[in-house]
Amino acid sequence: MDHLQEIAEQFKLLGDRTRLAILALLKERDLCVCEMVDALNLSQPNVSQHLRKLKAGGLVHETRKGKWVYYSLNVEDKKHVKAVLEYLPSLKEKILSLPNRICE
């Protein structure tokens, strides 16, 4: 895939409100799916589907910690995506209001 095509595909990923919200959450810190479900008030399958697309597009990493998978941003080498993320509103308050529970 040429570079312009790759960038076009990444911008398509950014064209979805839920995926933008996930990226805005991950801008604050690494999160597991259950935390994103709580923060976004969406179903686990819905969040997981969006994360799969973001991972396939190279915008997020996943790291296994015990039996849970945590997601983080993977945009250090994608200046065009980092520029978009700069304009996203902070969702820090949503993260701070998450219940203190172990992901299940």
CATH of the domain at 51: 1.10.10.10
Instruction: Using pLDDT thresholds of 50, 70 and 90, give the confidence band for residue 1.
Output: low
Each residue of 6-62: pLDDT tens digit? 999 999 999 999 999 999 999 999 999 999 999 999 999 999 999 999 999 999 999
Number of structural domains in the chain = 1
The structure's pTM equals 0.91
pLDDT confidence of residue 53: 97
- Domain of residue 48: give its range: 3-96
In a domain, 48, yes or no: yes
Residues 6+ apart with CB under 8 A from 76: 82
In a domain, 25, yes or no: yes
Give the CA radius of gyration of the chain.
Answer: 13
The first and second tokens of residue 95, run together, are: 């993260």
Each residue of 63-100: pLDDT tens digit? 998 888 999 999 999 999 999 999 999 999 988 888 77
In a domain, 102, yes or no: no
In a domain, 77, yes or no: yes
In a domain, 104, yes or no: no
